[in-house]
Amino acid sequence: MVVALVLNLVTTLVVMAPSLVLNFGTLPITVLPHAAVGIIALLLGFLFSFKWLMALRSSKPVICGSRGMMRLAFVLWIVPVFFGTFLYLTIYVL
């Protein structure tokens, strides 16, 4: 989970954020919900990773979050993937 979070953060900072800043006026309005949900998913990923790493350092059982919160994090991660794919296809392919 930590590796996926780091890879997601690196691609967000290196590829997506500069593209958003440089092309903000020309991008469709659907970019804003994509970015907002993606940021929330990143923050939840940081929270779960932090909890997991802290549990590894102590004698507590390794529990990142409840099943419902993990499902919420998955949905909040997968929605920007679909938004991003849709945006890519509409901007660069179609």
User: What are the residue ranges of helices labelled H in the chain?
Assistant: 2-11, 17-22, 31-57, 67-88
What span, in angstroms and rounded, lies between the C-alpha atoms of 94 and 89? 6
* pLDDT reading at 66 higher than 80: no
Q: pLDDT, tens digit, for every residue of 13-36? A: 998 889 888 888 888 888 888 889
The domain ranges of the chain are 30-94
Percent of the chain with pLDDT over 70: 96
Under a CB-based contact definition with an 8 Å cutoff, are residues 35 and 22 in contact? no
Residue range 67-82, pLDDT digits in tens: 888 888 889 889 999 9
| Global confidence as pTM | 0.77
